[in-house]
Amino acid sequence: MIDLKKKRITVTGGKGFLGTQLIRKLKEERHCLEVFIADQPEYDLREIQSVRKLYEEQRPDIVIHLAAVVGGIGANRENPGRFFYDNLMMGVQLMHEAYLRKVEKFVAIGTICAYPKFTPVPFMEKDLWNGYPEETNAPYGLAKKMLLVQSQAYRQQYGFNSIFLLPVNLYGPGDNFDPSSSHVIPALIKKVVDAMGGKEAVRRRMSSNTATHQKDRPITVWGTGNASREFLYVEDAAEGISLATEMYDRPDPVNLGAGFEIKIRDLVALIVKITGFNGSVEWDASKPDGQPRRMLDTSRAEIEFAFKAKSMFEAGLKKTIIWYVEN
């Protein structure tokens, strides 16, 4: 077990959705000696000179690599080359330079997109190599998966302490609501809020808790609604990463999830219920569903470093919606 109170920690992607939560946890709850952020524009992690500058200036004992170029199904379809190159170059160079500089521990954050398209549910870490990822996000998923290969190879040859974590889709206050790059929950929330007349209209309706006779504009959702997803509240994800950083030291990948799945159709119904949306929902089956089902087996994380998600999904979803309409 590592005592984080005595460690200098660099978090790549530290200004992002998960990064801000993780840094708060490291500072306020783990009381780390020093916590540094490594983000653009100060550090372009695709460039080796910038990676070396980071290590020379921050001199971390531990690196937690969250940074990623990522988006939803649409963004993945439009940017397969960029998503592959940027994510691969960031991770490979960061880990290699960490090894050269004798960094004490490297925590690589992967993605559920690394799993094969038709993985038995719940996804178990042993099934990670039993097929090709779902096509729309395969370049991103495979780029991140190479960090697992590098992590295991460097541990085997050099004794380098690197671990690989596989978080499921995250959600929560502070999420990315930009429709060009957001994931499914913020994308759906924004779509519903816009159809209801904007944030102020939704805020009034949610606070008064009264029905309106005026029909909201219809929304169109990609796919059939039959695909399922699992979602992990961002604060739970930050706790899981913190615990793994402290306690886990093995080559095997570890899932981080909440251990449940919900169909996209039911997710939309839940957002409709919380917001009071009263328009129609139309499904565009010409657009892809993505991976048919996603749900993780989370037993390894509980056994290895006592991580179990605590947040209830509907409560977390409501907090996310409230944050969005109030900010």
Question: Any idea which residues carry the catalytic annotation?
Answer: 140
Among 139, 133, 146, 39, smallest CA distance to 79 is for 139
Report the distance separating Cα 81 and Cα 83, nearest Å.
6
Report the distance separating Cα 71 and Cα 178, nearest Å.
10
Residues 67 and 45 sit within 8 Å (Cβ to Cβ): yes
Report the distance separating Cα 143 and Cα 84, nearest Å.
5
How many CB atoms are located within 10 Å of the residue 27 CB?
A: 13
Report the distance separating Cα 268 and Cα 113, nearest Å.
22
Q: Which residues pair with 229 in a beta bridge?
A: 262
**Residues 66, 63, 166, 263: is their CA dihedral positive or negative?**
negative
Residues 315 and 254 sit within 8 Å (Cβ to Cβ): no
Task: Give the number of residues written for the chain.
Answer: 327
> Is the bond leading into 288 cis (omega within 30 degrees of zero)?
no
Report the distance separating Cα 277 and Cα 54, nearest Å.
47
How many CB atoms are located within 10 Å of the residue 28 CB?
A: 9
Among 269, 258, 271, 256, smallest CA distance to 311 is for 258
Query: In whole angstroms, what separates CA 112 from the centre of its chain?
Result: 9
Residues 19 and 70 sit within 8 Å (Cβ to Cβ): no
How many CB atoms are located within 10 Å of the residue 314 CB?
A: 12
> Is the bond leading into 173 cis (omega within 30 degrees of zero)?
no
